[in-house]
Structure formats: structure tokens, C-alpha cells
Amino acid sequence: MAIKFIKVYDYALHGSEPQANNTLRTIDIEGKRICLAHINQKFYATDDKCPHAGARLGAGFCDEAGMIVCPVHRYKYNPITGKGANQQGDFIATYPVQEKQDGVYVGIEKKWWQF
């Protein structure tokens, strides 16, 4: 499978800091819900659904260690690796992010016939 990068923030339209630092939000990319995290001045993208109870991670928050915290049961996930903090075998999918001069892009796997 190949990766298609989709622009989620355009700096010309949204400004140079389109999302406050140390915040999360849910975005929709071609029908897929993604948690977009802006932590320590860097963007990360993960699945929006917590594997524990199905809550939207974008409705959660970032802790002082830079972890994504689920709003329901406070499970924590590393935005780089997707690994759960204290849960054995608990992971969320992560997606590549590119920050370019004109905006922020998130990479989604696409099959060849979807391009």
C-alpha cells in the first residue's frame, strides 16, 4: 500500500499556529476519524478511537509528559509510537505527519485504486 498525504491545515487560511499547543482534536480524513495532537510544538496523528472503551481521543487532553489521555478512563497513549502507557499490549495506530512551509499534512494508507 502507498501513502497519500492530505493537507489538514493550510497556513495561508488557518494562520501559522492553526491549533493551540498541547491540545487534541478530532478530524475527518476521507471518512476516517483521526486524533490530531499538537504537542510540544509538533503535530502527531493517531486513531481517534480508544481501544479500551471506544471513546474519542480527540475529546481528551495532553498530559505534562506529552501523552494523549482518553477522556473516559484516562488511559494514556504515546503519540509517536501509539503504545499505551501502562496497558500491556494496548496500542493505537499512528499516521505520518509532514509539516511543510504551506501547512500540515497527514498520511493515510491508500490502495492503488483509491488514488
3-state secondary structure of 113: helix
Q: What is the reported pLDDT for 16?
A: 83
- Whether the per-residue pLDDT at 112 is higher than 70: the answer is no
**How far is 68 from 76, CA to CA, in rounded Å?**
5
What number is the average pLDDT over the span 42-71? 95
Q: Specify burial of residue 85 (Cβ count, 10 A radius: 0-12, 13-18, 19+).
A: middle
Q: What is the reported pLDDT for 39?
A: 96
3-state secondary structure of 9: strand
Q: How confident is the model at residue 114 (pLDDT cuts 50, 70, 90)?
A: low
- Whether the per-residue pLDDT at 87 is higher than 70: the answer is no
Q: To which CATH superfamily is domain 2-110 assigned? A: Rieske [2Fe-2S] iron-sulphur domain (2.102.10.10)
86 or 32, higher pLDDT: 32
